[in-house]
């Protein structure tokens, strides 16, 4: 399940990149890991399409990424 919209993640990425401008090398290296994770979240973002055709189960499965939710 996505806690952020794709647009919110892109905003966080822009904020993070702007924040890192002019930072000391050690601090920038630390924050680059976080920026990399945000980029990965954007790359793997799924606009879930819940398959509820088999409504006999207690969960639904996204037909795109196959993640489940209850």
CA distance 57 to 69: 11
Q: Tell me, what's the pLDDT at 11?
A: 94
What is the model's pLDDT at position 2? 60
**Confidence at residue 57, expressed as pLDDT on a 0 to 100 scale:** 62
Residue 29 falls inside a structural domain: yes
pLDDT at 1: 46
**From the first residue on, what is the mean pLDDT of each consecutive set of 10 residues in the chain (70 residues)?**
84 84 68 84 82 65 75
Number of domains making up the chain: 1
Domain residue limits at 52: 6-69
pLDDT at 7: 94
Is residue 41 a part of any domain in this protein?
A: yes
Do the domain assignments include residue 49? yes
Q: Is residue 64 part of a domain?
A: yes
Q: Answer whether residue 1 is part of any domain.
A: no
């Amino acid at each position: 399940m996505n806690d952020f919209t794709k647009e919110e993640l892109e905003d966080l990425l822009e904020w993070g990149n702007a924040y890192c401008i002019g930072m000391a090398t050690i601090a920038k290296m630390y924050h680059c890991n976080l920026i990399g994770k945000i980029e990965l979240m954007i790359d793997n973002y799924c606009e879930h399409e819940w398959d509820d055709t088999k409504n006999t189960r207690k969960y639904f499965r996204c037909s795109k990424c196959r993640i489940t939710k209850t």
